[in-house]
Amino acid sequence: MNNDDTQNDSLEEFEEDVTEYIGKDEHSKSLALPQQMMPRRMYVLPVSNRPFFPAQVQPIVVNQNPWQETLKRVGETDHKVMGICFVEEQEAEGDTPASEQLEAVGCAVRVHHAQNESGKVQFIAQGLQRFRIVQWLRRKPPYLVEVEYPAEPEEDADELKAYTLAIISSIKELLRTNPLYGEDVKQYLSRFGPDDSSPLADFGASMTSAPGNELQDVLDTVPLLRRMEKVLLLMRKEQEVAKLQSEISEEVNAKVQKHQREFFLKEQLKVIQRELGMAKDDKTADVERFQERMAELNPPEAVQERFNDEVEKLQVLEQGSPEYGVTRNYLDWLTQVPWGVHSEDHFDLAEARRILDRDHDGLDDVKDRIIEFLAEGTFKGEVSGSILLLVGPPGVGKTSIGHSVADALGRKFYRFSVGGMRDEAEIKGHRRTYIGAMPGKFVQALKDSKVANPVIMLDEIDKIGASFQGDPASALLETLDPEQNRDFLDHYLDVRMDLSKVLFICTANQLDTIPRPLLDRMDVIRLSGYIAEEKLAIAKHFLLPRLLKRAGLLKKQLNITDAAIKQVIEGYAREAGVRSLEKLLHKILRKGIVKLLDNPDQPVKVGVSDLQSYLGQPSFKKEKSLKGTGVVTGLAWTAMGGATLSIEASRIHSSQRGFKLTGQLGDVMKESAEIAYSYVSSNLKRYKGDPTFFDKSFVHLHVPEGATPKDGPSAGVTMATALLSIARREAPQQNIAMTGELTLTGQVLPVGGIREKVIAARRQKISNLILPEANRGDYEELPEYLKEGLVVNFAKHYSDVFQVCFGNKPRKGSSVH
């Protein structure tokens, strides 16, 4: 007999007893068996899962230690009765609870068939009656207590009948939703009838999965009506849980049946289609798809041979084999590389110049260099054999220049950053033996661009790293060498690829961290940054219109004057690029939008006087050039695009010879200062100073802004002029700034960053400059608007600097040593 039959029999038997109970009159209902005699003293056993009820018959398993002695003593009694009390909290299994932890109300049970097995004692407990502990006679196992049996007060018969019917109805509902309750119902019916209201209430409570404290509350409740109310509430909750569980089960079964049905129908459809010749199996479909892809390409002979070999292998492999998935993925990649597919280059230099001018303001020298590169490609009919490296500070437009070059050539553009890359497999690919193996970035670039000659940009190549997984910079040597990349080998594909038609454009912020062998393979183009006029044009033509469009604003709604933009450039964003400038303009727009929302009809106009309310105090104050004896203005290159630097020299005392340097100077600047000190000391007579001045003078040379580290070979002539000024006790000419490195023989050596230094001088309105003669060509290449109004003196020897600064010629003759 199955579970459903057992459930139905129990339900029918239960309903018959219910019918019989409903037909009884009050006199027959009042008849009852005489109460059994119960002991006043009994041993007590704690249980921690849930309380035991008088209507239950259930096996119980406890540890032999320490409860075997309790069961032994119970077995020696005539009545075989003991008490079971609930313990709500027990720290760990096997711990002996204190007597205070046991609930005062428990259930007296008769013990049947006690037996030992594997360190446990198992017995069947037959619930008899509630008891309440009156006195503890022994508080250690075996627990012994004196008890009383509370009597149930008389209740209204009609109410009891109504509650009894409600509990019976709930039990019937639970039987329908969960057939596991059928056995419990049969055990109950073998001992009680439906007219036994008190056992019925306890039985209803025992059927629920309520927590132990709620069941103990039912056990504590002696008045029958109150107890039945609590039991009905617990059974209603149980019905809801059972109903929800049944709904979930039905929903899951429905989904499983639906999926099974769909699976069988699909399998049947595949078999029918295959029998009728209307469809192919998955393996055949894969092979045909790969063959169709390769037929559209023009692969080299070696690639075609490898493809044929792999297809043959795929055809003999079982689809469930791991090797099948590996081979299939390999063929998928091999057939997506655009073998022999090239896009046609557009060799139109005028159009290229228009695109570069459209996308960038300024950078004329960079544009000219790119036009030269494109002109060379036009002359020979293809652009290949050269790898461009754009070097410059952040925010000057290196990446966007790569986009412009791709647009000018009409080629696909693919960019990826190698900054922080530490695994050479990112470049050369993984071998197929590894799980999850993939080709390198260059194969992925060709796949995504769908042509064999895209423009590939390698961003942040100066930040490439190395680790135990290999050296990606060394892996790039084969890729970026025009003589080697014709036969580039990716470890995953394991066939030679021709990357010579690809135009590689790399970007970097500096050259120092790029490995020299890699740098030798690149054509370096420097982007020195923008001057204020160029930044103003960029802000007006590119940045501001883009920000307005992004914010959904019209120019008439929010207008920033040219003077305000120029003040933002000078006072808040002096860096070489325009990234900070764009952020500051965005900040102005955000604050302007707030005002527009408050007053939509009033356009917002931002002038110079409004900037502090939008951006706060300027980050850069106007630099004031220091004046006086021993003070000289130098020119320095910085990441911000160039700055003026006042160098001060002073005689501290005349008691002894000495020389002190301050101002966070690096090793190179310290050496420049020592050279200047030695040169001026040995040539004081020539430059009309006291030859013994430094013999009895302690001199202090300081470069202001000591919190900022400074280093570089461009301050030699400036330091020498400051030292000569204090030795001659004469201030140099005003409104002069200089740069250049000095040797011990007085030769003025060339320096870098001429463009930035000239910009810094113009910012300070210094119109008289001293530059090394060797930098004349760098100055001549500057735009005319940058040179306008400047008087530039070129110096080969320090005597040329002396003549400009002090207005007379040095004495003829040899140096004084």
Q: What number of other Cβ atoms are within 10 A of residue 472's Cβ?
A: 24
Laid out side by side, the sheet with 503-508 consists of 413-417, 455-459, 503-508, 387-391, 523-526
The region that residue 431 occupies, defined by phi over 0 for left and psi between -120 and 50 for alpha, beta otherwise, is beta
Spatial separation of the C-alpha atoms in residues 785 and 808, rounded to whole Å: 32
Q: How far is CA 64 from CA 113, 316, 404, 499, in A?
A: 15, 65, 86, 80
Residue type, 615: L
Three-state DSSP state, 132: strand
Q: What number of other Cβ atoms are within 10 A of residue 471's Cβ?
A: 17
Smallest CA-to-CA distance from 738 within 712, 766, 711 is with 766
Contact 142, 121 (CB under 8 A): no
Q: Is the dihedral of CA 769, 774, 776, 777 positive or negative?
A: negative
Spatial separation of the C-alpha atoms in residues 97 and 117, rounded to whole Å: 23
Look-up: residue for tokens 């690029």? 577
For 431, the token pair is 């071998």
Spatial separation of the C-alpha atoms in residues 713 and 710, rounded to whole Å: 10
Residues known to be catalytic? 714, 757
For 262, the token pair is 């769909």
Question: Which contacts (CB < 8 Å, 24+ apart) does range 285-293 have?
Answer: 286/314, 286/328, 286/331, 287/311, 287/314, 287/315, 290/331, 290/332, 290/335, 293/335, 293/336
The neighbouring-strand residues paired with 456 are 414, 504
Contact 82, 109 (CB under 8 A): yes
Q: What number of other Cβ atoms are within 10 A of residue 339's Cβ?
A: 21
The neighbouring-strand residues paired with 523 are 388
Q: What number of other Cβ atoms are within 10 A of residue 450's Cβ?
A: 13
Spatial separation of the C-alpha atoms in residues 286 and 314, rounded to whole Å: 9
Question: Which contacts (CB < 8 Å, 24+ apart) does range 291-297 have?
Answer: 293/335, 293/336, 294/334, 294/335, 297/335, 297/338, 297/339, 297/340, 297/341
CB within 8 Å of 363: residues ≥ 6 apart: 396, 397, 401, 527, 530, 534
| 244 burial type by CB count under 10 A (0-12 exposed, 13-18 middle, 19+ buried) | exposed
Query: What φ, ψ does residue 42 adopt, rounded to 5°?
Result: -155, 160
Contact 239, 177 (CB under 8 A): yes
Three-state DSSP state, 416: strand
For 794, the token pair is 């070129």
Half-sphere exposure of 281 (CA within 13 A, CB side): 6
Smallest CA-to-CA distance from 157 within 165, 148, 149 is with 165
Strands (E), 267-364: none
Distance of CA 774 to the CA centre of its chain: 50
Spatial separation of the C-alpha atoms in residues 423 and 406, rounded to whole Å: 28
Spatial separation of the C-alpha atoms in residues 773 and 789, rounded to whole Å: 19
